[in-house]
Amino acid sequence: MKAAAALLYAPDGYDTSRPRLMGRHAAGAGFLGGLVRHAGFDRLVALTRSADDAAAFRAQLKDLGATVPAETLGDADFHRLAETGCLMLPGPDLSSFAWRRRRGGAAQAFSLVGITHTIASAAAMDSMAEMLVAPVQPWDALVCTSSAVQAAVRRLWQAEGAWLARRTGATRIEGPALPIIPLGVDATALAPDPAARAEWRARLGIRPQDIAVLHHGRLSFHAKAHPLPMFLGIARAAAAAPAGAKVVLILSGWFADTVQRRAFSAMAKALAPDLEIRLVERPETDTKLRSAADLFTLLSDNIQESYGLAPVEALAAGLPVVGTDWDGLKDTVAHGVTGFRVPTLLAGPMGDLAARHDIGLDSYDEFIGGVAQFTAVDVGAAEAAFAALIGDAALRARMSAAARARAVAHYDWQKVIGQYQELWAELARLRADGRGERAARLRGEDPVPRRPDPSALFADYPTRRLTPETRLRLAPGLADAQAAVARITAMAGLSGGAARRELLPAAELFQAALAPLDAGPATAGTLVAGLPPGQAWAVFRALGWLLKIDVLRLEEEG
């Protein structure tokens, strides 16, 4: 098959040997390997910016076992992309290449296809907003890795489009196509391995009858997944283990810094002192560690996340997944079939966080850490999911088989590359049809469209949003508001308990807001009704943090 797409290649987008490994690096390397194995191209083409990058491309293809020629194009060869018909970008920056294509002549010469990774950063939001004013064409596309991401991109475009309409009087505003294509995995390489299972469990001191829960990835309470619901849920669910068996949590991954390391250690000791934990750092070169586990968990609560590759790798390894009902996990984890999705809740407003990040007062880490602080994972539902799998070997076996089958059928790179080939063919058809640039009116309001309130932009990530009508009650074990405030104070003082303590209201405000719960459940609106208007909003969104740390529960929870 003639090459149907060229890659924009720089080692940063495809290198997994780096010390600070991110999901986009693993995704890029996986995509390149998938092309080598499954695309069937007569050659593999890359647009590179330097001789060193061209050499790195050829070297990486050799390492991947490519048997077809590698061809690299420099800046002066940009027009030759018409020979392949498409340029694949490792991120969402279609706009700059669309302008460059326009300068070169016919916009129908080739298509541009970008992909979303995180869409929470200022740079990513700017790239997506620019698509509405750049010469992006109907035969271009921004691939969304999940339905939640697609919804967020559309919401951002609605706000930006409304501003453009008012500012310029434009009546047709439209971006590129937004197909949903998941990230893939090498299902063959991730297949369960009994020998590796025995070896790893012996190495970690896990007996055959024990139940091992694996958490793999970056270990970050502010930028990946706060470990509180995992520690509490597994520790409490350990009581469901069969007689003679113990539950072991395998923390596999890497800490960004010593702050994260200390925080995880402190929270584990405070929240799950009796839970046995094995730490395996930087195991990314050994895919067989997954074979040691009986189930996998990632209780993501962060807008930095957009897909969640680790849970899909776990499915391919035949592991039932306890994940959150959040971003890409909504698409990949079939609730009750391949695992369980734990409900999430997003509080707000957070327009101040968007503004502080926009003007440089808060770093990106501070921004996403602030949003995560007011995002709650249902601790009770997490406990129930862990208990169900820990206590029922037959359920684990059924979900294991279903997980492996789902990964092979939907997420193996052979299937995913096939979806890309279908997309490239459709875009080529649109180019051949000669249709002009399209635009459609987009609606929506936001004071600063490119820096919207994250609690509105990411409304499709959680199970539900906190509203004034949401009914709340004190969590089990808390007799009254005074006891609740004592727990709040303890959690706020715990390293990692609150990523942005300065955003929390004073203890006196919490005491006043929670007092009505002494008499029984009440709505969120009732709890803040008597507070000063200038402080009520801050307490309202902080209710999300109280749900997060298991001070509050939704009334309908068991």
Torsions phi, psi of 344, nearest 5?
A: -130, 165
User: What is the C-alpha to C-alpha distance for residues 459 and 507, in angstroms, rounded to an integer?
Assistant: 29
Q: Do the Cβ atoms of 89 and 112 come closer than 8 Å? A: yes
Sign of the torsion formed by the C-alpha atoms of 205, 294, 298 and 462: negative
| Chain centroid offset of residue 327 CA | 6
Q: Do the Cβ atoms of 228 and 549 come closer than 8 Å? A: yes
User: What is the C-alpha to C-alpha distance for residues 96 and 175, in angstroms, rounded to an integer?
Assistant: 14
pLDDT of residue 284: 52
Tell me whether the CATH fold assigned to 6-184+415-433 matches the one assigned to 194-343+378-411: yes
pLDDT of residue 173: 86
| Chain centroid offset of residue 27 CA | 12
Task: Read off the pLDDT of each residue in 331-353 and give the average, rounded to a whole number.
Answer: 97
pLDDT of residue 447: 33
pLDDT: is 354 or 442 the higher one? 354
Q: Do the Cβ atoms of 499 and 369 come closer than 8 Å? A: yes
pLDDT at 446 exceeding the cut of 80 = no
Residues 6+ apart with CB under 8 A from 408: 187, 316
Single out the residue of 269, 185, 184, 262 nearest to residue 219, CA to CA: 262
Tens of pLDDT along 473-513? Answer: 999 999 999 999 999 999 999 999 999 999 999 999 999 99
User: What is the C-alpha to C-alpha distance for residues 413 and 550, in angstroms, rounded to an integer?
Assistant: 39
pLDDT at 440 exceeding the cut of 50 = no
Q: Is the peptide bond before 227 cis (omega within 30 degrees of 0)?
A: no
Quick one: CATH architecture of 6-184+415-433?
Answer: 3-Layer(aba) Sandwich (3.40)
Task: Read off the pLDDT of each residue in 125-139 and give the average, rounded to a whole number.
Answer: 92
pLDDT at 285 exceeding the cut of 70 = no
User: What is the C-alpha to C-alpha distance for residues 436 and 449, in angstroms, rounded to an integer?
Assistant: 27
Q: Which of 105-119, 318-332, 371-385 shows the lowest mean pLDDT across its residues?
A: 105-119
User: What is the C-alpha to C-alpha distance for residues 473 and 469, in angstroms, rounded to an integer?
Assistant: 13
The CATH code of domain 194-343+378-411 reads 3.40.50.2000
- Kind and range of the H or E element at 488? helix 481-493
Tens of pLDDT along 134-189? Answer: 889 999 999 999 999 999 999 999 999 999 999 999 888 889 999 999 999 999 99
Single out the residue of 292, 290, 284 nearest to residue 312, CA to CA: 290
User: What is the C-alpha to C-alpha distance for residues 245 and 238, in angstroms, rounded to an integer?
Assistant: 9
User: What is the C-alpha to C-alpha distance for residues 298 and 330, in angstroms, rounded to an integer?
Assistant: 12
Q: Do the Cβ atoms of 308 and 297 come closer than 8 Å? A: no
Bridge pairing between strands 471-474 and 522-523: antiparallel
User: What is the C-alpha to C-alpha distance for residues 70 and 110, in angstroms, rounded to an integer?
Assistant: 20
Tens of pLDDT along 387-438? Answer: 999 999 999 999 999 999 999 999 999 999 999 999 999 999 999 886 664 3
Question: Other CB atoms closer than 10 Å to residue 87's CB: what's the count?
Answer: 24
Domain ranges (residues) in the chain:
6-184+415-433, 194-343+378-411, 454-554
Tens of pLDDT along 251-272? Answer: 999 998 999 999 999 999 999 9
Task: Read off the pLDDT of each residue in 512-540 and give the average, rounded to a whole number.
Answer: 94
